[in-house]
Amino acid sequence: MKDLIATYYFRTKDGVDASYAANAIREEQTTGTWTSLSTVNDKTAYVHDLDGSVEDLVELPDGGYLTRICFPHEIFEKGNIPQYLSVIAGNLFGLGKLEAVRLLDIDLPEKLCGCGPKFGIEGVRKIVGTEVSCRPHIGTIIKLKVGLNPKDTAQVAYEAALGGLDLIKDDETLTNQTFCPLFERLEAVMDALDRAKDETGKQVLYAVNVTTGGDRIVELAHKAVSAGANMLIVDVLTAGFSAIQALAEDPAINVPIHVHRTMHGALTRNPHHGIAMRPIAKLVRSAGGDQLHTGSVSGKMGSKAGEVLADNIEITKPLSYLKPIFPVSSGGLHPGKVAAEISKLGTDIILQAGGGIHGHPDGTTAGTRAMLQAVEAAVLGIPAREYSLSHPELAAALAKWGDK
């Protein structure tokens, strides 16, 4: 398959024929516009090679329609993800003939894919040392999400690392603010993680948030890696897919890229209009993110279990030209929710808890231990409540938050 197939759900305005509407999407995103053109004539008939085609159109019980549109690969500038999106997710969302339209999925041909992740699941597991156990990774988000100074941020990281987790990340809104300058924070946290390693023997990954303008992100990432960063986080929808791609393609940036999806709710939440997480996730894999937030099944965000699992399958399925990437389940998680996440999403995931670790009654280190104990119980198939009888940190977490 060399062309790009995009799947849309749409609802038409009263009286608008569905086939007409599907073609309106195709035309608007390829060679057409709202009227006939004098510039299209016998001499320029070659442009019709880029017309694309409506592959199929299915009416749904809810009165909406599904259509798959084939976009010729020539319409895309290889590697230019912003331009890809201008085609498959552009003006169509505003077409007056449509009451609503949602981009559900894309089949991205290999020749249009980027370099993909440098590390992927296997590479990150090798760094952490879980390539044999294949257990879920446990991560935390420094909380408060903003406000702590570098020294206090490092203290939170130190206490989390003592608990034995795999990954600590900046929150999506923490970058290089004056209250916590990035390089002061990075130095303090990496020193704290070194101290923790002296006690635990375990090197913890710290994803420093390099989200910034397109003209600065590569240089900032270079400086962060030179200053000792062992992982980066980028907010893909606010920084852009190209930011991920630029970092992933840069050989000097030899650390994994954790991809946050903040702002996705503006696109993914409405079941009838916008962009589903699936195409976003596939583009992140193509652009080169190593791990990506795809939603939790029991957390605070309104993700649907079936959709999250299906999206995770898509970004972890083997492709000869792109490594599988690590799905991140996060948002409102705590030790009492771990079993539900693992039973529905499996163990090839990263389970992340911010409040669910730092809100533990006995503090961050106990919260981290409680998360690890909850993972141990779930992997062993032991109910968390039973396992908590011999694991006090887990017992205290269940006493505070329950196990539902």
Which residues are catalytically annotated?
A: 143, 260
Q: How far apart are CA 184 and CA 29, in angstroms?
A: 47
Choices 44-52, 275-283, 294-302, 392-400; region in contact with ligand CAP by CB under 6 A: 294-302
If the CB atoms of residues 135 and 293 are measured against ligand CAP, the closer one turns out to be 293
Report the alpha-carbon distance of residue 3 to residue 204 in Å, rounded: 42
Q: Which stretch binds ligand CAP (CB under 6 A): 178-186, 221-229, 236-244, 326-334?
A: 326-334
Site of tokens 């976003």: 280
Give me the numbers of helices (H) and strands (E) for the chain, helices first please.
Answer: 16, 13
Bridge partners of 329, per DSSP, are: 351
Instruction: Note whether 114 binds ligand CAP by CB under 6 A.
Output: no
- Record the tokens describing residue 89, joined without a space: 């997710």
Is 140 or 212 the residue whose CB approaches ligand CAP more closely?
140
- Tell me how far, at minimum, the Cβ of 216 lies from ligand CAP, in Å: 23
Give the start-end residues of each E strand in 246-390.
257-260, 274-275, 291-293, 326-329, 350-353
> Rg for the chain (alpha carbons), in Å?
23
- Sort strands 231-235 and 98-107 into parallel, antiparallel or unpaired: unpaired
In the numeric block, which tokens belong to residue 276?
């589903």
Of 258, 293, 323, 337, the one binding ligand CAP by CB under 6 A: 293
Please count the residues of this chain forming the interface with ligand CAP, following the rule CB under 6 A: 18
For residues 249 to 288, the per-residue mask of contacts with ligand CAP, x marking binding by CB under 6 A and - elsewhere, is ------------x---------------------------
- What's the gap between Cα 384 and its chain centre? 28
Q: Tell me how far apart the alpha carbons of residues 28 and 194 are, in angstroms, rounded to a whole number.
A: 55
* 331 interacts with, out of Mg ion, ligand CAP, none, CB within 5 to 8 A per kind: ligand CAP
Residue closer to Mg ion (CB basis): 11 or 293: 293
88-96, 179-187, 228-236, 331-339 -> range binding ligand CAP (CB under 6 A):
331-339
Cβ at position 333, least distance to ligand CAP in Å? 6
Is there a contact between 34 and 140 (Cβ–Cβ < 8 Å)? no
Q: Which residues bind ligand CAP (CB under 6 A)?
A: 141, 143, 145, 171-172, 261, 293, 295, 300-301, 330-333, 353-356
